Amino acid sequence: MAESCAPNEAVSSARNPGVDLLRGLSIVLVVLHHVGLRIPLKQGVLAAFLPKWLLNAMIYNGYEAVFIFFVISGFLIASNSISRWGSLAGLHVRNFYTRRAARILPCLVVLVAVLSLLHALGAKDYVIARAQQSLPRAALSAFGLHLNWYEGQVGYLPGSWDVLWSLSIEEVFYLGFPLVCLGLRRKGVLLAFLALLALSLPATRAALAGNEIWQEKAYLPGMAGIAMGVLGALLADRVRQPKRWIQRLCGALGGAGLVGVLCFEGRIWRLIGNGTMLLLTASALSLVLACHWRASRGGPWRIPGTGWLASFGRLSYEIYLTHMFVVLLVVQRFRAQGGGLRWGILWYVPALLLSWLLGWLVARYVSLPAEQWLRRKLGRGAGESRWAGVVAEEGQA
């Protein structure tokens, strides 16, 4: 999710702790969501001290967090492409695909192999047992980047498979991304196309209301979030040093929008319906731009006490793909010990810590060495080492 850049080029997340914090918040919300679905907080000890809206914000924003990831991913990949090739029209197709394959495939191959083995062994929570579903078909959908469509047709897969729905959306977008950039060489035409896609989010979600799973996981709504991020990268390339009040206004509006959607989504939804998701992606972009412009002014900045959250952000791809192993294990132990909901919150801490640890181990011993090896084998352009802080190149949910 990060690379080093020249001083006048797009600022990477390695120099942009604000983006790392936003990614960290997003992946923490995803982990809390998957724990919260199984160990709810509304009957726990916190319910006596915290308002219901805050408890809901803590554990029911996993889907929204994925759309924040989409925006960040679009911004970072487009920014790094502009930094590397000068413009999106100059994007090198083979190099772009090489980088994406090297980043995505190692973890995906290992994950599908492990899940297939657990299915074959009959492990609880890992067996694909629904009618119309099968292991070969699930594996094909994962590698064929249509697991989201497959679930929309046959129902949810087990949790550790289900997380791959967002990867299907993101990578299909990036398969077509270089071709669109090269085909629409005129920046005005490309901007119009991206803006149309980004703004289509409410309409595309509303049009799919007949199938709840497909409405959540369809290609176009997710791609709208990514397109929003790409638009932001083009704006950041055009406006590199805005006035400070503009930067601060973007940060304030973005932060307010995110807090509003994450904490009071139900009320906002009653007012603007599917427009809530567009408000979410626009707010996320506004905050990303504010972080980008703040970092581009030079000099690192940190918010005291948030280093742990930034480390979650730097490992977000690995944590996202593997955290369900931890969640399912923690929930099994919770239920084995009686499953009392009053102190269920105590199980959230080990779930977060172990998710981070597993993500770190996967990054250290699978992602990084495999990515570097693949880049060397598939072609030049892999370039720099990425181990400074175990940073993933582009954000994934």
Structural domain contains residue 348: yes
What's the burial of 262, exposed, middle or buried (CB within 10 Å: 0-12/13-18/19+)? buried
Structural domain contains residue 396: no
Structural domain contains residue 263: yes
> What's the pLDDT score for residue 299?
57
Domain total of the chain: 1
Question: How confident is the model over 181-237, as pLDDT tens digits?
Answer: 999 878 899 999 999 999 999 999 999 998 999 999 999 999 999 999 999 999 999
Compute and round to an integer the Cα radius of gyration of the chain.
20
Global pTM value: 0.92
Structural domain contains residue 144: yes
Question: How confident is the model over 20-64, as pLDDT tens digits?
Answer: 999 999 999 999 999 999 999 988 999 999 999 999 999 999 999
Say whether 209 sits in a helix, a strand or coil. coil
The range of the structural domain enclosing residue 175 comes to 13-378
What's the burial of 40, exposed, middle or buried (CB within 10 Å: 0-12/13-18/19+)? middle
Looking at the predicted structure, is the pLDDT value of residue 252 above 80? yes
> What's the pLDDT score for residue 17?
81
Structural domain contains residue 1: no
> What's the pLDDT score for residue 377?
84
Structural domain contains residue 386: no
Structural domain contains residue 183: yes
Structural domain contains residue 121: yes
Lowest-confidence range among 172-181, 280-289, 296-305?
Answer: 296-305
| Arithmetic mean of pLDDT, 290-316 | 86
Looking at the predicted structure, is the pLDDT value of residue 3 above 50? no
On whether the CB atoms of residues 295 and 9 are closer than 8 A, the answer is no
On whether the CB atoms of residues 2 and 12 are closer than 8 A, the answer is yes
> What's the pLDDT score for residue 340?
87
Cα 54–55–59 angle (5° rounding)?
115
> What's the pLDDT score for residue 127?
97
